[in-house]
Structure 1
Amino acid sequence: MKSPQSRAARRTSLIRKLGLAGLISAALAAAAPAHAEGRIRIAEQFGIVYLLLNVVQDQKLVEKHGKNDGLDIKVEFSQLSGGAAVNDALLSGAIDIAGAGVGPLLTIWDRTRGRQNVKGVASLGNFPYYLVSNNPAVRTIADFTDKDRIALPAVTVSVQARILQMAAAKQFGDKEFNRLDRLTQAVPHPDAAAAVIAGGTEINAHFGNPPFQDKELAGNKNARIVLNSYDVQGGPSSATVLYATEKFRNENPKTYRAFTAALAEAAQFVGANPEAAADIYLKRNKSGLDRKLLLSIIKNPQIQFKVAPENTLGMAQFLHRVGAIRQQPASWKDYFFDDPVTSGGS
């Protein structure tokens, strides 16, 4: 058995290595020149909320709209977990388009205002997010105790974390908005869903998104919905969005325009072809999800695949009220770029 001193030495060595790797990574990012028109790097996460990006990728819609504008575009997709990781990737220059929740967007918009000026590009649609628990004693958020652990994609900054804070503020008062934060853990959606379905682990609740929340409800007889994001936000809301820096948008107008046009076409495609959209999701995500369950989610009348954001200002105002962001937006247009595809948003 290794001594405490030996374990401490190993930790110190690892920290030094990680620190050096971080410095090297930062140096490379700083040295990398801004790429010219004709390349776009997009980060997505997990779930059906990213279906529009799956369609864009599968049908090569960015490339299609780029060629219509006389431009060959190289499109790169990557998959990350959690708004914090996505925001770090965007600010380091590793990606051009970030896919995450409205919570991470508002955080990075607030922190980069007057510098990188990160703003929203488009919504990926309206989706109800469920906080699901397999603890029979938990029926409302007031029933959670120190024995419970709530998995979500990123602690405090993810859209799920922010909605939980909004719910806590309504339940316990604004001064207690972060009362449940101590119970949350950052866990990728697939792992969190597996834990809730299996039971018997410290993770007995998950604030997720479709299809993971649906799999939990179907896979564990004790699983129940404790909280619905629509109830917290006062109706259908755009929880997951795409955002970028002002620099990328300004320096790559044709590429940016091709991307937003591709998103709009993808939204039309999903609405008109849910069966084909389901097949694309299964193929792109190599998912073993039951196709019938998947189709029921895509056709759920509470879900709308659309690119104009809806009902996002309430969260922004809440975050300012409790001091989570410094800037107070007067309108959703403060943190979204002004583009034709998002006109009529809110």
Structure 2
Amino acid sequence: MSSSYHPAAPRSFFARRFAAVLFTLSIGTAGLGAAAPARAEGQIRVAEQFGIVYLLLNVARDQQLIEKEGRKEGLDIKVDWVKLSGGAAVNDALLSGSVDIAGAGVGPLLTIWDRTHGRQNVKGVASLGNLPYYLVSNNPGVKTIADFSDKDRIALPAVSVSVQSRVLQFAAAKQWGDKEYNRLDKLTQAVPHPDAAAAIIAGGTEITGHFGNPPFQEQELAGNPKAHIVLSSYDVLGGPSSATVLYATEKFRNDNPKTYRAFVDALADAARFVTANPDAAADIYLRVNQSKTDRKLLLSIIRSPQVQFKVAPQNTLALAQFMYRVGAIRNQPKSWKDYFFDDPATAAGS
């Protein structure tokens, strides 16, 4: 699916496209009930979502970095790429055995880590970098989260699962106390980022807020003069933090050590590539996603001092402890290492 959209998309288009996405996901996940058979070394299926937060995967795909690292391990790795929307769909795909590596926010990782603790033992593989996520509104009356009313609807990729949803809950807990952490949940709706961005830019829909990610949040701010930032994930989490991560089951990691190593090494290669070649990285994003996003806008994001492309997770524990505190997860994380695999590439995490 293309991550492009038309800024003047009418509401009927928004409704049709959102329905089509839901239909596609329902068909795609309907057959995921039975776990897939064990796979031999040299095969890997990666689930990604929308946005420049997945740039490292885009670069690894375009430059065939996984295949290159696999050859160093003596493997001819076959890589399959799957695009889904929302952490819930990604988690379902991972647990069903339909994908091997899941890409989603820290929120979905913590949910599935908790759910599979002592069983499939899903843990984080690596971060996709530090990028701020903005809650953007086109309602001039909304200056803080306390200004949202029952007339507003906030789009995010998955209700009560996505990292955007969890960060919004964390912000609500800071605003009104832990007992009111889910106060804004009733206003949230699951909408893919491209469609939510179209709604914010066009106006005139029930969607007046979007907790998104780059480049959609920047497109909203540039495309609608009423659009403004209500909240930044960095403000809630206390500084630069890894919002989007990759994770896998313990079985896949143990059964495919060479493939796993090639994947992590390729991700580190991609991080170095993006840092050294921002122009080429922007072109890769446009090409892989068949996106019509403004190239100058992409480069401003990639080169932003707030953005860091690295594979070691950063500043994730505060959200994990919040989720435990309010009962969103049952297992208490004492350290970020509880929900990430021990790996030299992520040893400097937090």
TM normalised by structure 1 equals: 0.92
Equivalent residue number for residue 170 of structure 1:
174
Equivalent residue number for residue 222 of structure 2:
218
Is the counterpart of residue 179 in structure 1 residue 183 in structure 2? Answer: yes
1:194-234 deviation digits (Å, cap 9, x = unpaired) = 00000000011100000000000000010000001100000
Q: Residue 37 of structure 1 is aligned with which of 38, 41, 53?
A: 41
Is the counterpart of residue 287 in structure 1 residue 307 in structure 2? Answer: no
Provide the rounded CA distance (Å) in 1 between the counterparts of 2:293 and 2:278.
15
Provide the rounded CA distance (Å) in 1 between the counterparts of 2:217 and 2:166.
18
Equivalent residue number for residue 207 of structure 1:
211
Contact 2:200 2:210 in 1 (8 A): yes
1:311-335 deviation digits (Å, cap 9, x = unpaired) = 0000000000001000111100000
Provide the rounded CA distance (Å) in 2 between the counterparts of 1:263 and 1:278.
17
Query: Which letter maps to 1:247?
Result: K
Provide the rounded CA distance (Å) in 2 between the counterparts of 1:168 and 1:148.
16
Equivalent residue number for residue 297 of structure 1:
301
Higher-Rg member (1/2): 1
Provide the rounded CA distance (Å) in 2 between the counterparts of 1:103 and 1:302.
21
1:133-189 deviation digits (Å, cap 9, x = unpaired) = 000110000000000000000001100000000000000110000000000000000
Is the counterpart of residue 188 in structure 1 residue 217 in structure 2? Answer: no
Query: Which letter maps to 1:281?
Result: Y
Is the counterpart of residue 63 in structure 1 residue 67 in structure 2? Answer: yes
Equivalent residue number for residue 147 of structure 1:
151
Identity %: 78
Gaps of 5+ in 1: 1-17
Is the counterpart of residue 244 in structure 1 residue 248 in structure 2? Answer: yes
Q: Residue 331 of structure 2 is aligned with which of 327, 337, 341?
A: 327
Contact 2:32 2:93 in 1 (8 A): no
SS at match of 1:238: coil
Provide the rounded CA distance (Å) in 2 between the counterparts of 1:62 and 1:276.
18
Equivalent residue number for residue 3 of structure 2:
none
SS at match of 1:320: helix
Equivalent residue number for residue 115 of structure 2:
111
Equivalent residue number for residue 121 of structure 1:
125
Provide the rounded CA distance (Å) in 1 between the counterparts of 2:44 and 2:335.
28
After superposing on structure 2, the runs of 4+ consecutive aligned residues of structure 1 that deviate more than 6 Å are none
Q: Residue 161 of structure 1 is aligned with which of 162, 165, 174?
A: 165
Provide the rounded CA distance (Å) in 2 between the counterparts of 1:248 and 1:295.
35
Equivalent residue number for residue 337 of structure 1:
341
1:92-131 deviation digits (Å, cap 9, x = unpaired) = 0000000000000000000100000000000000010000
Contact 2:324 2:332 in 1 (8 A): yes
Deviation at 1:25, TM superposition (A): 4.5
Is the counterpart of residue 268 in structure 1 residue 272 in structure 2? Answer: yes
Alignment of 1:71-110 (within 5 A): 71-110=75-114
Provide the rounded CA distance (Å) in 2 between the counterparts of 1:62 and 1:287.
23
Deviation at 1:76, TM superposition (A): 0.6
SS at match of 2:207: coil
Provide the rounded CA distance (Å) in 2 between the counterparts of 1:232 and 1:260.
29
Query: Which letter maps to 1:320?
Result: Y
1:50-79 deviation digits (Å, cap 9, x = unpaired) = 000000000101100110111110001010
1:243-286 deviation digits (Å, cap 9, x = unpaired) = 00000000000000000000000000000000000000010011
Query: Which letter maps to 2:56?
Result: L
Provide the rounded CA distance (Å) in 1 between the counterparts of 2:145 and 2:48.
29
- Alpha carbon RMSD of aligned pairs, Å? 1.1
Q: Residue 239 of structure 2 is aligned with which of 212, 235, 241?
A: 235
Equivalent residue number for residue 9 of structure 1:
none
Provide the rounded CA distance (Å) in 2 between the counterparts of 1:167 and 1:86.
24
TM normalised by structure 2 equals: 0.91
Provide the rounded CA distance (Å) in 1 between the counterparts of 2:237 and 2:74.
42
Query: Which letter maps to 2:177?
Result: G
Query: Which letter maps to 2:336?
Result: W
SS at match of 1:204: strand
Provide the rounded CA distance (Å) in 2 between the counterparts of 1:337 and 1:100.
16
Provide the rounded CA distance (Å) in 2 between the counterparts of 1:112 and 1:146.
36
Quick one: structure 1 residues 25 and 163, their matched pair in 2 at CA, closer, same or farther if it must change by over 3 Å?
closer
SS at match of 2:94: helix
